[in-house]
Amino acid sequence: MSEQRSGLANFFAGIGLGALFGLLMGLSVAQTVGGVIAALAAVLAGFFGLSDKGVIGSPARVAGFGLAAVAGIVGGVALRAQDTLSLTPQQAVARWTTAGYPAEEARSLVTFERLGIRPQGREVAAPPQPGRQTALFSGAAPGDCQRLAGIEDAGEVLLQFEALGGTWAQLVPALRATPQAAVLIKELACGSR
């Protein structure tokens, strides 16, 4: 009975990781996800017990992961395609009116955000780029990213983090055990510059 329970636990462990992995892949349009997926694949290989001799871990865990990853990818793509996680146009207009804009102007600003149609009497350069409206990883100053640009060696990235100070330096102690993660964090924060 305990062997059956262990197989079921492994199956659900695979489902949990597969769903996370699939949703991340399905929801993302960023290039940096490729780096995250590569790092995650290395971690998952250890989790699944993969080696050159095949699967030495639990086949139930691998099966659960595979099923949930496919479902997660389909679900993530559907959420992204339907724009389910964004504000509705009415909510976006309410956000602008709450900020003090008249309702008509708020509607024209939402039209610009969604469709790129310039409001009358307004001069704008270009509609906002997709993905630029998030606060995630937006704390990196452009100067910091310029100093980190072109550095691919994990040790060098850690040295630059220390030299930059602030939040960068606070990351260094945690990254010493896995310095390659510093390169990934640099790419997430600054892009592949």
Domain boundary among 44, 62, 81: 81
Q: Which residue reads 């606060």 in tokens?
A: 135
Residue 162 included in any domain: yes
Cα–Cα distances in angstroms (integers) from residue 14 to residues 3, 39, 51, 64, 109, in the given order: 16, 17, 17, 5, 44
Q: Which residue range is the domain that position 60 belongs to?
A: 2-81
| The overall pTM is greater than 0.85 | no
Q: What CA–CA distance (Å, rounded) separates 28 from 148?
A: 24
pLDDT in tens, 41-89: 677 777 676 655 655 667 787 788 888 888 888 888 888 888 788 888 8
Residue 10 included in any domain: yes
What's the structural domain count of the chain? 2
Token reading at 110: 């939402």
Q: Phi and psi dihedrals of 131, rounded to 5?
A: 85, -10
Give which of 153, 157, 145, 156 is closest to 190, Cα–Cα. 145
pLDDT in tens, 9-40: 888 888 888 888 888 777 777 666 667 776 77
Domain boundary among 81, 103, 121: 81
